[in-house]
Amino acid sequence: MSHSAFIALGANLGEPLVALRRAVDELRTLGTVEAVSALYRTAPVGGPSGQPDYLNAALRLDTDLTAAALLAALHAAEARAGRERSRRWEARVLDLDLILYGDQVSGDLALTLPHPRAWERAFVLAPLADLDPALPHPVTGETAAQALARVGPGGIEQVSPTWTQ
């Protein structure tokens, strides 16, 4: 059974564009990439000061994997890219977040769905709104476009509408 998953991508160390392109290619092995958002440059949110800006995007993946298996595959892809998890919100070579998995809601600490901070972060909402402005939060019903208008698009700049080539 196929499920629609929305995944946020980010990177700000090494060669972020190369890392994000490789991640999209790797995600194609987990299902069908139905759409990819524009690429955005964003200021870091939280974490240690002095971090470089991030490149952020999102994609919609149709997959037969369970949510838990997909999250494990995302973490494995991050590790292959060289990500080490030592400090919250630190700079990273690759960050892949499972934002939505169909309309599944889970409060499990290992797999919280929808992603608990997604509807509060412009760097996630702008790419999600590219993919589907009417995409609803499964609990509140607020759409990605409505949330982006509420949060405001400050601190994000579209770099490229087509960047995966």
User: Which residue matches tokens 């000061």?
Assistant: 49
Q: Residue 55 belongs to what H/E stretch?
A: strand 54-63
Q: Nearest 5°: CA angle at 68, between 93 and 127?
A: 50
Q: SS3 breakdown of the chain: % helix, strand, coil, rounded to 5?
A: 30, 30, 40
Three-state DSSP at 76 gives: helix
Catalytic residue among 83, 87, 117, 132: 83
130 annotated active-site:
no
28 annotated active-site:
no
97 annotated active-site:
yes
> Cα–Cα distance between 10 and 50 in angstroms, integer?
17
Which residues are within 8 A (CB) of 29 and not within 5 positions of it... i.e. 6 or more apart? none
95 annotated active-site:
yes
Catalytic residue among 95, 121, 130, 132: 95
CA dihedral of 26, 100, 65, 19, whole degrees rounded to 10? 10
Residue 131 near residue 6, CB atoms below 8 Å: yes
Known catalytic residues are: 83, 92, 95, 97
